């Protein structure tokens, strides 16, 4: 456990005491003496000291720990989705080639895949978006377009200054000036600098068109509150998910081939995301590498903890509860995954 997560910045960490410290605290409590002040005096009871300061501990880099957990959950989810896509690919190929007629099996697999995609936000660790892309540095984002606010209209309008408002109460107005002759890359970069402070990012797609994005967790609020000067509140359109099994029609050869194309495109994207998540996990694990704790010391720590846990006095219980503050199931699972 000592070798698990050490912070890059001590200010952003939480110290969790080791069982050895807990045992030392309990021992100090039990060692409180009751002795006579002099031969003729009555017994004088010394007041019990407060729990001793915790000397040893594991330091947690919460940001790094979050990166590890997000990558691990993403890999588990992507592996499941990849297996479902591979099975669908095989069944669709067999149906198109006439080798078999697994219609019911295709329908069952499509329903299973749709269920997995619907649970993406919950089961994917928060780092996989609707296009099945993995984001290692931040939570998943929703991609969208703004109707009428596209590259063609911006480049044809000459120099224009646009004021944006993003927020339920109108929010602060922020402005961006689009000048004549600016390239699509220049326009996207300027809009991105303008809107990033209000959590909206701007980029270009493969066709040099503007793509906006917002955190999935805040998308609903942002979607209802985007306004541009001269246009008022604007209409937004979400980019569709990379695959929608619930909309498939496999009743004719053309529909089967289209479904197979979608499956293969989604599978290729999942493979790229698996590589990205694996790289992110490897980087996080490398950042946490520390010398291993000697086995003898680990045995001593566990022994101290067991002895302290077996005691029922107040100081022992106080030491144990203090040592376990901040230790959650997710943190333990993240540490175990580093083996």
- The pLDDT of residue 17 is above 70: no
CB under 8 A, 24+ apart: contacts of 170-173: 170/227, 171/198, 171/225, 173/229
Structure token digits, residue 153: 């209209």
- The pLDDT of residue 26 is above 50: no
10-14, 134-138, 176-180: least confident range:
10-14
Structure token digits, residue 198: 């209000």
The residues spanned by each domain of the chain are 1-33+52-139+243-339, 148-234
- CA neighbor of 160 nearest in space, from 230, 210, 233: 230
The pLDDT of 163-175, averaged and rounded, is 77
Query: What confidence tier does 21 reach under pLDDT thresholds 50, 70, 90?
Result: very low
Q: Are 263 and 92 in contact (CB under 8 A)?
A: yes
Mean pLDDT score of the chain, rounded to an integer? 79
| The CATH number of domain 1-33+52-139+243-339, selected from 3.30.70, 3.40.390, 3.30.450, 1.20.1330 | 1.20.1330
* Confidence (pLDDT) at 70: 84
The pLDDT of 52-68, averaged and rounded, is 58
Q: What is the pLDDT of residues 230-287, one digit of tens each?
A: 888 899 999 999 899 988 888 888 999 999 999 999 999 999 999 999 998 888 777 7
Task: List CB contacts of 151: < 8 A, sequence separation 6 or more.
Answer: 184, 187, 208, 209, 210
* Confidence (pLDDT) at 62: 65
- The pLDDT of residue 60 is above 60: no
- The pLDDT of residue 182 is above 80: yes
- Of 121 and 80, the structure prediction assigns the larger pLDDT to 80
- Of 163 and 336, the structure prediction assigns the larger pLDDT to 163
- The pLDDT of residue 59 is above 70: no
103-107, 153-157, 312-316: least confident range:
312-316
* Confidence (pLDDT) at 168: 62
* Confidence (pLDDT) at 335: 61
* Confidence (pLDDT) at 27: 44
Most confident of 174-178, 229-233, 285-289, 299-303: 174-178
Most confident of 9-23, 201-215, 317-331: 201-215
Query: What confidence tier does 178 reach under pLDDT thresholds 50, 70, 90?
Result: very high
The pLDDT of 101-127, averaged and rounded, is 92
From CA 140, how far away is CA 236, in angstroms rounded?
18
Q: What is the pLDDT of residues 123-141, one digit of tens each?
A: 988 889 999 999 877 889 9
Query: What confidence tier does 338 reach under pLDDT thresholds 50, 70, 90?
Result: low
* Confidence (pLDDT) at 289: 60
- The pLDDT of residue 83 is above 60: yes
Q: Are 144 and 212 in contact (CB under 8 A)?
A: yes
Q: Which residues of 179-200 are buried (b: 16+ CB within 10 A; e: fewer)?
A: eeebeeeebbebbbebbeebeb
């Amino acid at each position: 456990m000592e070798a698990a997560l050490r912070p890059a910045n001590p200010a952003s960490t939480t110290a969790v005491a080791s069982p050895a410290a807990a045992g030392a605290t309990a021992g100090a409590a039990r060692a409180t003496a009751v002795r006579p002040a002099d031969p003729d005096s009555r017994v004088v009871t010394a007041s019990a000291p407060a729990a001793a300061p915790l000397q040893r501990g594991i330091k947690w880099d919460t940001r790094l720990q979050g990166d590890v957990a997000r990558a691990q959950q993403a890999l588990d989810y992507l592996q499941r989705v990849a297996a479902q896509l591979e099975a669908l690919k095989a069944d669709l190929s067999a149906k198109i080639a006439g080798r078999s007629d697994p219609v019911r099996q295709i329908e069952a697999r499509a329903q299973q895949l749709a269920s997995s995609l619907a649970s993406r936000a919950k089961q994917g660790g928060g780092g996989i978006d609707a296009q099945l892309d993995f984001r290692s540095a931040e939570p998943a984002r929703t991609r969208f377009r703004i109707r009428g606010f596209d590259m063609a209209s911006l480049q044809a309008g000459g120099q224009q200054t646009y004021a944006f408002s993003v927020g339920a109460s109108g929010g602060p107005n922020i402005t961006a000036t689009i000048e004549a002759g600016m390239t699509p890359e220049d326009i996207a970069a300027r809009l991105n600098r303008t809107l990033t402070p209000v959590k909206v990012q701007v980029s270009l797609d493969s066709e040099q068109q503007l793509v906006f994005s917002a955190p999935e967790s805040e998308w609903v609020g942002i979607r209802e509150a985007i306004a541009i000067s001269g246009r008022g509140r604007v209409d937004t359109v979400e980019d569709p998910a990379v695959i929608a099994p619930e909309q498939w029609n496999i009743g004719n050869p053309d529909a089967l081939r289209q479904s197979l194309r979608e499956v293969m495109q989604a599978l290729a994207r999942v493979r790229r995301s698996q590589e990205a998540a694996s790289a992110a996990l490897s980087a996080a694990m490398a950042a946490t590498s520390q010398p291993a704790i000697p086995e003898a010391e680990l045995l001593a720590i566990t022994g101290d903890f067991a002895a302290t846990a077996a005691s029922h006095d107040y100081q022992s219980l106080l030491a144990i509860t203090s040592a376990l503050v901040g230790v959650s199931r997710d943190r333990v699972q993240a540490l175990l995954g580093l083996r």
